[in-house]
Amino acid sequence: MTGLLRVLLVVGMACGVLLPCGGAVAADAKRLNIVFVSPGKSGEVYWDMVAQAMQAAGRKLDAHVEVLTSERNYRTMQELGLGVLARVDKPDFLILSNEESAAVTVLEAAEAAGVKTLLLSNTLIGDDAARLGPPRRTLKTWLGDITTDLQTAGARMANALIDAARAGKWQSPDGKIHILGIGGDEITPASIARNAGLKLAVQAAPDVVVDRMLFANWTQSEAEQLTANYLSWASRKGIRPAGIWAGNDPMALGAINAAATAGLAPGQDIQVVGLNWSEDALRAIGANRLLLTDGGHFLLGGWSIVLLRDYADGCDFAAASPHVEVKTSEITRTNLASVGDLIRTRAFDRIDFAGFRAKAGRCGHYDFSIDALISSLAPLEGAAD
Amino acid sequence: MRSDNDMTDPVCNAQAAPPRSRSVVRAMIWATVPVLLVVQLLASAGVEVSSFWSQIRQLDERTARTAESRAELIAEPLWKMRYDQVTSVLNEILHDETIAAVAVYDDTGVAIARVVARPSDQAVSEVSRPIEYRNGNIAVEAGRIVIAYSYATIYAHTGSRLLLLLVVGLLATLATVVAMRISANIFIGKPLAAIMSAIQRSKQDGRAYPAEVRSSNEFGQLAHAFNAMQHTTSGALDRLGHMASHDPLTGLPNRRSLSERLVTLSRDAGSPDSLIAFCFIDLDDFKGINDTFGHDAGDKFLVHISERLREAVEPEDWVARLGGDEFVVIRPEVSNAATAQAFARQLLDAISEPIRLHDKQVVPRASIGLAVRRAGDPELSHLPALADIALYHAKSKAPGTVAVLDEALQRDYRRRRDLELAISAGFAEGQFEVWYQSQVDLESHRVVGLEALIRWRHPEHGVISPGEFLPLIERSGNNARLTRYVLTDACRALQRLAAAGKPQIRIAINLPPSELADHSFAAELHATCARLGVAASSLELEITEGSLINNIACASETLHRLRRLGATIALDDFGTGYSSLAHLRRFPLDKVKIDKAFISEIPDSGEDKAIVGVIASLAGTLGLTLVAEGIERAEQARAVREMGVRLGQGFLYQQPQPLEAVLKWLEAAPSSSVLADSPSIAPEFAA
């Protein structure tokens, strides 16, 4: 009930606040009707931020974005998606995330209903991918997907750790740099990609050993416990732990807590890296406890609207590829000041999404880098004034 | 007081207190049940112990399997440091109640998870298994799992099983014991008890009691055989018993019965003051009957006597034959001694009826010794001895009569017994003395010989007459000793006579019948004479007719030997005994001594004179020298001399005197008529 109210509230707000603005921006184009079925929970930072970025982009690009939250229940997600497709007044686009492969049913229903779909963050995998093939072949209305390159993100995080350890000469008596890896899980593509990044980076560094790859179910508390276990074990083994690679920020923060509890000074004796650009992570970076947080993939919400706007306006992103992979970016103490506030305040309206649209004749080519982002940012309201 | 029970004491005691023996049933139970119990318990315990070890082994294996399977489960959480998951896996193990604790150690050896089910102070075992973690890339030993488990459950289970087995074993044994007891009682105990009971009852009264066993098994057959044996044995025992207590010839109770009878006499009497008459009967001259008619006739004679006694008594009286010619009749109640005496005479009368033996009338004669005693007399068991005293008296003093035991008889008896006992001492201490009485030639009045006469100078009783002590000497078997004593003395006297210049005087000694029967006597006489340097021809041996009759052949043989040695033989006391003129002819006699009974009335008695005259005439015809005994007066000497008697002996000439006195007397009147000049100090022995 509260979820539904929240959806209505968000939709209402979006309509009320953004309509005049959007109309002014793109008076020549058709106003788009977009529905996003979020797999996450209300209040879940990442998906909230995805939705918010999506809506902010909608406001900039004359698209009405309706967000439906499935509350981490994939059955609900399917029901919501099918419900949208059954509407008399069908939306122009339906954005889904194929978590737990739950989106396939809805994709097929959308094909039948003639509603165009875009997969966000999680695309088809395994049997589904083999059966349905690439976008727009079996499912004509499935336009494509937009995902982040989390493997690169994982590797980047690892390299940052390794560099910091080498710089601090945190080798153990065996001469190796010992790292703990904490993954979210062992099955989701998002987790597997990150972990693969870690593995790649370590394989390239012969002086580095990942003592353990532990899995903390994405949660801070479990990560804290596992880290504590690891640190205890490492001390018994005579290992000097150099860094902790965490698949997301909450786990990184848990690892920091555990390290502190174990008598280490995170940021000084040991480095921790996370992913997600979460507010707590940014604070930890500010406090010099967290080396970096990679991420920015919540912006996929905004970038998806950019793609659809261009597609609707005849500049099909598939001209390059129906698979749009967006690189993530790291926030360190260096660039914390630039984007930290954006994240903290979630003032995504500061982003000029229109500026990211494909240039004429270069359909499918986008620069979604952090530098581009930073340069697109409108000055803070206070500063502007 | 004695009773039947006392008589059978040994037997009774054996019955009353048999050696404490365990019954066969008990012995069987004791022999089998402990073995059964032990075997059963050992077998059960063995099975249970085997099961125990099997359970232990199974538990070890199971726990090891558990450790291995859990190690697989735990490998990933352990490697991935999900220690809570490890703990929860361990907690699941604890559902197994044998497991006391589980611990998981990581590769550093630190327990990262430990769960304890229950503190166990009992012995616990441990199983340890490595935890190996594998994924596509690595295979490492992530740690170890150690399970501590307890055998307590198995111990408790085994303990309760053993207890159960023990209880079941004991119950089974108890049931077996009960079953054995019951069946053994039925099949063994009862038949045995029946047979034992029959034996006990039979032992009590000697009768045959059958054992009541009906079964047809071995015990039934045993009982059957036992009953048959009982029947046979009891008949034999009855006969044996009767034979043991009865005289087979007459069927009368025997001496053994008398002993038993004596025991019951006082008990059967009406009151302690009742008088019991005990008649000891001895047939007179039964030997003569035997000798005359043969032993078969003697037996027949005894049967007759027994029948007469039976007929003569009342039913309450009791008749027995003690053996030989001795009978006993007991009348358990008489009013007084006179009645008893009358009863005894009545018996004598009954016995004295003539009997026909080999077509000859024989008049039996018997003597009875009667003793009468109160039933309460403590010396009742001596009745036979007492009656025997009276019988002795009757036999010696008045054969064919009843002698009643009185104080005088008992006194005599005691004196006789004392003297009999003193005979040995008498010989040893030289109490026996040999006196001599002279025989005189009635014509020449010269002393031609001396008769040796024995005297006993007893230190207490004084000089005892031969008439009293000779029977005692004979009865005590000292005849030969006395004869040799006299012979030796006589030979020494002959030496003295020769030394005194009277070698012509010969000495006569009395030869008792037993010596006459002894073949060795002649040799001994010869040896003694040779030893002392005396001619056997200086000796004369006087025999009585009785000794001739008793053993004619032996006597004749001995007499001939003596005659060959040169000794002369004189027939003593002629005319009083079984005088048979045939003897005078048959035996080698030199002299005949006429008994003084025929001399004492001479010359007044014409009958005696006639008898002596006949004897003298006979002797003259047979060439025998006659000696008249007991000559006390001169006219007697004259009368017998006139009738042809050559020699005389008596107080008229000389009383018996010790040798010294005789020698002096002979010295004083060497060749003239001698007259008695000293009073008689003792009755003449050779009367």
Q: Which of B81, B84, B107 sits opposite A230 (nearest CB)?
A: B81
The pLDDT confidence band at residue B477, using thresholds 50, 70 and 90, is: confident
B506-532 mean pLDDT: 86
Tell me: pLDDT of B269 over 90: no
pLDDT at A291: 96
- B110 contacts on A by Cβ (under 8 Å): 236
Give me the amino acid identity at A134.
P
Of A8-12, A256-260, B476-480, the range with the lowest mean pLDDT is A8-12
CA distance, residue B145 to nearest chain A CA (Å): 17
Q: Kindly calculate the radius of gyration of chain A based on its CA atoms and give it in whole angstroms.
A: 22
Say whether A236 and B112 touch across the interface (CB within 8 A). no
A41-65 pLDDT, tens digit per residue, is: 888 888 999 999 999 999 999 999 9
By CA distance, what is A217's nearest residue in B? B82
CA distance, residue A236 to nearest chain B CA (Å): 6
Say whether A229 and B83 touch across the interface (CB within 8 A). yes
Chain A CB within 8 Å of residue B21 CB = no
- A236 contacts on B by Cβ (under 8 Å): 106, 108, 110
Chain A CB within 8 Å of residue B133 CB = no
SS3 letters across B329-389: EEEEEECCHHHHHHHHHHHHHHHCCCEEECCEEECCCEEEEEEEEECCCCCHHHHHHHHHH
Q: Which of B81, B83, B108 sits opposite A236 (nearest CB)?
A: B108
- Counting residues of chain B whose pLDDT is more than 90, the rounded percentage is 13
B204-249 pLDDT, tens digit per residue, is: 877 778 888 888 888 888 888 888 888 888 788 788 888 888 888 8
By CA distance, what is B143's nearest residue in A? A233
A306-329 mean pLDDT: 94
Which range scores top for mean pLDDT: A24-28, A141-145, B376-380? A141-145
pLDDT greater at residue B123 or residue B397:
B397
pLDDT greater at residue B594 or residue A304:
A304
pLDDT at A132: 93
B282-292 mean pLDDT: 86
- A230 contacts on B by Cβ (under 8 Å): 81
A99-123 mean pLDDT: 93
Tell me: pLDDT of B684 over 50: no
pLDDT at A105: 94
The pLDDT confidence band at residue A24, using thresholds 50, 70 and 90, is: very low
pLDDT at A158: 96
Mean pLDDT of chain A: 89
Chain A CB within 8 Å of residue B83 CB = yes
Chain A CB within 8 Å of residue B82 CB = yes
Structure tokens at A34: 């977009």
pLDDT at B577: 67
Say whether B79 and A212 touch across the interface (CB within 8 A). yes
pLDDT at B297: 87
- B75 contacts on A by Cβ (under 8 Å): none
Say whether B80 and A230 touch across the interface (CB within 8 A). no
Say whether B82 and A226 touch across the interface (CB within 8 A). yes
Say whether A225 and B84 touch across the interface (CB within 8 A). yes
Mean pLDDT of chain B: 84
Structure tokens at B513: 């019948």
Tell me: pLDDT of A74 over 80: yes
Chain A CB within 8 Å of residue B80 CB = yes
Which range scores top for mean pLDDT: A245-254, B563-572, B649-658? A245-254
Complex ipTM value? 0.77
Collapsed DSSP state (helix, strand, coil) of residue B402: strand
- A215 contacts on B by Cβ (under 8 Å): 80
pLDDT at B122: 66
The number of residues in chain B equals 687
Q: Which of A212, A215, A236 sits opposite B110 (nearest CB)?
A: A236
Structure tokens at B498: 């020769």
How many CA within 13 A on the CB side of residue B410?
A: 10
Of A360-374, B2-16, B281-295, B519-533, the range with the lowest mean pLDDT is B2-16
Say whether B81 and A212 touch across the interface (CB within 8 A). yes
pLDDT at B221: 87
Q: Which residues pair with B456 in a beta bridge?
A: B432, B464
- Counting residues of chain B whose pLDDT is more than 70, the rounded percentage is 92
Say whether A229 and B110 touch across the interface (CB within 8 A). no
pLDDT at A202: 95
Tell me: pLDDT of A11 over 50: no
Contact between A150 and A158 (Cβ < 8 Å): no
Mutation target vs A (from B78, B81, B112; most A CBs, 10 A cutoff): B81
pLDDT at A84: 96
Contact between A223 and A193 (Cβ < 8 Å): no
pLDDT at A275: 93
B299-342 pLDDT, tens digit per residue, is: 988 998 999 999 988 888 999 998 888 999 999 888 888 899 99
Report the C-alpha dihedral over residues B302, B306, B309, B310, rounded to 10 degrees: -170
Say whether B79 and A225 touch across the interface (CB within 8 A). no
By CA distance, what is A229's nearest residue in B? B81
Of A113-117, A375-379, B262-266, B678-682, the range with the lowest mean pLDDT is B678-682
- B83 contacts on A by Cβ (under 8 Å): 225, 229
B164-177 pLDDT, tens digit per residue, is: 888 988 898 889 88
pLDDT at B21: 54
For chain A, which residues lie within 8 Å of any Cβ of chain B, measuring from their own Cβ? 212-215, 225-226, 229-230, 233, 236-237
Q: Find the helix or strand (DSSP H, E) in which A25 lies.
A: helix A2-25
Structure tokens at B41: 């318990």
Tell me: pLDDT of B360 over 50: yes
Which range scores top for mean pLDDT: A252-261, A275-284, B549-558? A252-261
> Cα(B496)–Cα(B504) distance, rounded to whole angstroms?
12
A184-235 pLDDT, tens digit per residue, is: 988 888 899 999 999 999 999 999 999 999 999 989 999 999 999 999 999 9
Tell me: pLDDT of A27 over 80: no
Say whether A233 and B80 touch across the interface (CB within 8 A). no
pLDDT at A358: 94
> Cα(B115)–Cα(B93) distance, rounded to whole angstroms?
9
Of A83-92, A132-141, B58-67, B617-626, the range with the lowest mean pLDDT is B617-626
Q: Which of A214, A236, A237 sits opposite B80 (nearest CB)?
A: A214
The answer to pTM > 0.80 is: no
pLDDT at B2: 41
A75-96 mean pLDDT: 95
Say whether A233 and B81 touch across the interface (CB within 8 A). yes
